[in-house]
Structure 1
């Protein structure tokens, strides 16, 4: 059976039967497997079932890491830690059953415009309580980040720490679960302590304290502290200056200079955090009831006046609202870029096409071959070697644009897609000012390189011009997901998306010595192109603002026969060697005639 049979997402996936559970729908996926919303039949309660990828289930190291997460969770029972319900094995893979958390992640909370410093500190105290409990039970997390913090809406928005897949046990008795090798870096780079980047095995609980410092800074300012950064009170007005020293101590490069325990960190945060009480309200006195009644009367009158003012304002803005139409429901960038954008227009760009027996290549921007692109949504200009999505016109309402290379004969097992991209905010115009007035601050511009197949099937690598995390998004049948990477630098960035012969999709930013991996690989499996419904094509897209894509290149190559090796690097086009003129050899020099040797002394005359 080929690996495609276990990872195919071009058709509905039939989950492995798990006794006692009914899988309902896929809610997420990552480097190790899938998470399904399910029902525990014995109790009729909703749970989350995490399935190890069947391909990885064949690897003993990955199975041990999966079992390690179960052991880590089983050792913990705390309101701020996601609880484990069960674990087991099917005929083809392993599974882990956890409580299902109905609510957003901390990543979504960080981006909320309603988040206040006091609310941030409340969240931080709950996160710290869960981590401190885990440390006291001998477990360090080693991958604390906003994606691994969930908020339980049914429990009043209680924060819960999850995903202990990289956890390490402090107790030597449990060393069988410690899978990290010495001098191996594991975790998420932006939230990782310096010592953990060098030697994850020997990183202790102070590495978690560093990660908590990064999370606290991001909660307060909305940014990740990279390189040289301002203290929180200077980065965002209104933040208590006492938090500057707390964050700075968490982020000390030397572990000895940080807090020794999370309890010490909580002791300094607690005086600044809002006080929550569970005491029942006391009955009001007669005087207090009179005061409350008077305030209610004033509030009702004030609300009536404000209602009249709002209705008048709505009447003035009604025409503008009618012209702008209904606001579309929020969509993921990849979904928006591959949605129905109207009829395609055709634009031609100089480029190069190479179709050999083993390798096929298209390069846009320079070359003797005209390349056709199907343009949908926003218009596209050709500026030298670049595809440019210009600012939207004043009467336009299309914020999304897409350009697909109209080259279909790109079949292969190994692929490499790359380009230099830039996303800029729109220039100030009457139209943008009107949108800001009606809709609030405009969304950040987004630019993407993509592989697109049949309708609704794609993989997109998205960059925001604001320095937000890079995003890998995919929708291939019923398997959909998003993976966030490190923050993107501002300005032009070089993005790459590669797939090897085993169907492992990896993404990169930068070139040469500055080339860095973005997130974890996405397991597609062999014959991965079939999962797109049709042979995938290279594409670029733009949402809001101005987007520029230059040096677009897409190469595919057939995998060599088994037993030989081939890498994605072989797809990088090399310059064709130019034959140099060969100089004619000079004629050999004529040798002077040989002289007769002189007669030897005493010789006889002939």
Structure 2
């Protein structure tokens, strides 16, 4: 039996069509010579209404197309996602798209189908398939709800001690974008997270590293919203909210730094609210984290997000860079984050997406102005903390997470 490559599934009716390597083309219409594509009377469809067919190429593999075939396009319509096809127009169909066919004078009663790329869905199912040893505990859903630099995030459920709770499954596979070396590094993330226990650091519920194909599955607690989305909505964070964010993030950083771990990618996207009350935050995405005290795991590569990378990393030579990825890197990034949140702008650029070379030049050649903070009437002691201590250009004198916690405690009355 030939494998199904794609399908049109009837929505609200029983008409379904499948395309396979043997049956690469189907004509849909009212003429009985359409054979497998014949649906209903000529009063509803054109004799030859539309054609669904497969094509194969080396880049995309199997692709499914729809072509409008009606001789009277004024009377009959073929629509993809509510967009009407012109006479003889051909359209490449994507998984989940809606196809509608029927009379042009009766658009409310068109025959509706959902296009399904069965080949893609089959590969997707293999990617998220839970290994046998963990099937009683975890269940992954096919719908993806987010994307990382190397991963796809899927909705999932954990069943433990008779209770079911929603979680997420982070899936990493060995591909052209994820080399063997990169994959092996990413496999260290769940092991690291599994060794951590802090209320402001995301918890790993379970993980699995498979072979053939090489897959990494990490089940984590479900989060609600990252700080970047929150910031885009709020535009500017008031000092009291900044204080609440700061205390939680710095407490997590203090915990990590005391353990010899540097996150190396502190940014709003990697800090998430756990609930709709916007009260509890957790650090996520430890794919770049490392133990800076471990001399065996030397890493001479520049990593992180350009706008949050400190000057010492931009200045560093290839041989120096490993020894400079220490706690001050995370502190600088938090200083940039604080400046953005309190002023609504980046200290170096008005826009977020800029060339890394332009960022490096700005960071190395320019100091950071207090003016935007002063214009927002931020307390002088907070301005001093951000500009002179968090964003100190000398990493050796840059304030530590523990010291900032002490400063914030002394400033608590400002936020009551």
CA distance 1:52–1:212, change in 2 (3 Å): same
CA distance 1:77–1:3, change in 2 (3 Å): farther
Aligned to 2:393: 253
**1:33 is the counterpart of 2:134:** no
> Residue 409 of structure 2: SS of its match in structure 1?
helix
- Pairing partner for 1:217 from 324, 336, 339: 339
TM-align CA RMSD? 3.0
CA distance in 1, matches of 2:240, 2:170: 34
**1:109 is the counterpart of 2:230:** yes
CA distance 1:110–1:154, change in 2 (3 Å): closer
User: What does residue range 322-471 of structure 1 map to in structure 2 within 5 Å?
Assistant: none
CA distance in 1, matches of 2:390, 2:236: 26
CA distance in 1, matches of 2:195, 2:322: 20
CA distance 1:107–1:57, change in 2 (3 Å): closer
Q: Are the equivalent residues in 2 in contact too, given 1:209–1:262 (CA < 8 A)?
A: yes
Q: Displacement of 1:166 after TM fit?
A: 0.7
CA distance in 2, matches of 1:120, 1:28: 26
CA distance 1:95–1:127, change in 2 (3 Å): same
**1:189 is the counterpart of 2:306:** yes
Q: Are the equivalent residues in 2 in contact too, given 1:140–1:169 (CA < 8 A)?
A: yes
Aligned to 2:329: 207
**1:74 is the counterpart of 2:194:** yes
CA distance in 2, matches of 1:148, 1:3: 34
**1:15 is the counterpart of 2:147:** no
- Pairing partner for 2:257 from 135, 138, 143: 135
CA distance in 1, matches of 2:264, 2:251: 16
- Pairing partner for 1:50 from 161, 167, 170: 170
Aligned to 2:105: none
> Residue 145 of structure 2: SS of its match in structure 1?
strand
Q: Are the equivalent residues in 1 in contact too, given 2:174–2:180 (CA < 8 A)?
A: no
- Pairing partner for 2:267 from 122, 140, 145: 145
Aligned to 1:293: none
CA distance 1:274–1:80, change in 2 (3 Å): farther
Q: Are the equivalent residues in 1 in contact too, given 2:252–2:283 (CA < 8 A)?
A: yes
> Residue 225 of structure 2: SS of its match in structure 1?
coil
Aligned to 1:95: 217
Q: Which of structures 1 and 2 has the bigger CA Rg?
A: 1
Q: Displacement of 1:244 after TM fit?
A: 1.5
> Residue 256 of structure 1: SS of its match in structure 2?
coil
Q: Displacement of 1:4 after TM fit?
A: 5.4
> Residue 396 of structure 2: SS of its match in structure 1?
helix
Deviations 1:561-596 (A, max 9, x none): xxxxxxxxxxxxxxxxxxxxxxxxxxxxxxxxxxxx
Q: Displacement of 1:81 after TM fit?
A: 0.4
Aligned to 1:85: 205
Q: Are the equivalent residues in 2 in contact too, given 1:118–1:273 (CA < 8 A)?
A: no
The TM-score, its normalising length taken from structure 1, stands at 0.41
Q: Displacement of 1:89 after TM fit?
A: 2.9
> Residue 143 of structure 1: SS of its match in structure 2?
coil
Q: Are the equivalent residues in 2 in contact too, given 1:232–1:244 (CA < 8 A)?
A: no
CA distance 1:68–1:52, change in 2 (3 Å): same
Q: Are the equivalent residues in 1 in contact too, given 2:235–2:344 (CA < 8 A)?
A: no
Q: Are the equivalent residues in 1 in contact too, given 2:202–2:221 (CA < 8 A)?
A: yes
Moved more, 11-20 or 23-32: 11-20
- Pairing partner for 2:377 from 238, 242, 252: 238
Q: Displacement of 1:232 after TM fit?
A: 6.2
Q: Displacement of 1:237 after TM fit?
A: 2.3
**1:271 is the counterpart of 2:405:** no
**How many pairs are equivalent?**
269
CA distance in 1, matches of 2:240, 2:140: 39
Unpaired runs of at least 5, structure 1? 278-606
Q: Are the equivalent residues in 1 in contact too, given 2:236–2:344 (CA < 8 A)?
A: no
Q: Are the equivalent residues in 2 in contact too, given 1:186–1:200 (CA < 8 A)?
A: no
CA distance in 2, matches of 1:220, 1:114: 6
CA distance 1:33–1:119, change in 2 (3 Å): same
CA distance in 1, matches of 2:188, 2:140: 23
CA distance 1:216–1:36, change in 2 (3 Å): same
Q: Are the equivalent residues in 2 in contact too, given 1:221–1:235 (CA < 8 A)?
A: no
Q: Displacement of 1:196 after TM fit?
A: 2.4
